[in-house]
Amino acid sequence: MATEPAGCGPEHGDKTLVVGIINNMPDSALESTERQFRSVLSDAYSQLPIRLRLFSLPERERSENGRLYVERFYEDIGSLWRTSLDGLIVTGAEPRTEHLCDERYWSTLARVVDWAGESTTAAIWSCLAAHAAVHHLDGIERRPFATKLSGLFECAKVGEHAIMRGIPARWRMPHSRQYDLSEPELISRGYHILSASRAAGADIFVKHVKSLFVFVQGHPEYEPDTLMREYRRDIRRFIAGERNEYPEIPRGYFDEETEARFERYRDSIGMGSKDIAAASSVPSPEGSLTFAWREVALRLYSNWLSFLCAQKNSNRGADKASTLSAPPAA
């Protein structure tokens, strides 16, 4: 489904794109999130050379193993301010505070938003990063759901933009978040809603600053089993006493037989049970899990890479024209 990004043919010389990823996920999802974004970028157009540069916010709490992994494979965020990227992807994170500005990493993340607006061609803001960016840019406050939104939700294309080229009218997208953004408030502040879900709200929306900012509340990068792994993790957290409420089954994700197995498991441990020994017996799906959103994910990222390529070649042409038209040195 993905096609070669426009303007990235070999006749244009160096076609390597430099893309930064700021991975804000906790240690338990750090490597899997990195793998997911590597995969979707590679598969969106496998012949396009992409150089990935990985960054992590220094205020992010890490275990010793997590810290060592980041030190080995990630760059210090300080080097970001002195670099040049074609594109930037900023991942979500598990919210720890009611207000974003109370998160330990808030000041650094806000600086990333400002830097990306001036120093990238386009940036993708995923989940919590989308909430942080719109709050910093326009003061829009996220709103909590009564319970965590988790599952596959039908989305529909509601706006036209090059980033949506070739994407069908409807699809199902994974969502996994505790907060939402008001569509009317986004629209009133100049954001263009491109896709939306009746149950999950705004899915993809954009705003042009100096950079093209693409905001994604869903998770097109997810692998087929990501929602399942998150759900089983939340069950273990309940059993361990790390969360007060038993998690709801992801909506529209499991088949009926698998949902029944998870419901029987919930009933077997009792809604008030905190028996840590039960954690090892959390069931797993026996059948295959759907990957219904993959083609949409590949098209979205193919279009994004196409935009980066077109802008890079346009800038190269402008620089060449400027050089050719410049008066000779005295």
Q: What is the CATH number of the domain that holds 186?
A: 3.40.50.880
Half-sphere exposure of 76 (CA within 13 A, CB side): 3
pLDDT in tens, 174-201: 999 999 999 999 999 999 999 999 999 9
pTM of structure: 0.90
Q: How many whole angstroms separate alpha carbon 219 and alpha carbon 282?
A: 24
Q: Are residues 166 and 231 in the same domain?
A: no
Are 102 and 237 members of one domain? no
CB atoms near residue 23 (< 10 Å): 23
Place of tokens 């692998």: 223
DSSP tag of 279:
G
Scanning the structure block, which residue is given the tokens 């942080």? 132
Looking at the fold, whether 125 and 274 belong to one and the same domain comes out as no
**Domain span holding position 235:** 226-281
- pLDDT at residue 324 in the model: 32
Chain-centre distance for alpha carbon 75: 19
Q: 211, 127 in Cβ contact below 8 A?
A: no
Give me the number of domains the chain comprises. Answer: 2
Please give the structure tokens belonging to residue 51: 């150089």
- Look at residue 61 and tell me if it is in a domain: yes
Active site residues: 127, 219, 221
- Whether residues 90 and 235 share a domain: the answer is no
More confident of the two residues 283 and 11: 283
Q: Looking at the structure, do residues 168 and 259 belong to the same domain, yes or no?
A: no
| 86 and 36 in a common domain | yes
- Looking at residue 138, its amino acid is D
Provide the pLDDT for residue 305: 96
Burial of 68 (0-12, 13-18, 19+ CB in 10 A): exposed
Shortest CA distance to 184 belongs to which of 168, 196, 167?
196
**CA–CA dist 64, 149 (Å, integer):** 31
| C-alpha distances out from residue 221 to 33, 134, 165, 270, Å | 8, 21, 18, 34
Structure tokens at 315: 């800038």
Tabulate helix, strand, coil % of the chain (nearest 5).
40, 20, 35
Q: What is the pLDDT of residues 283-330, one digit of tens each?
A: 777 667 889 999 999 999 999 999 999 998 877 555 433 333 333 333
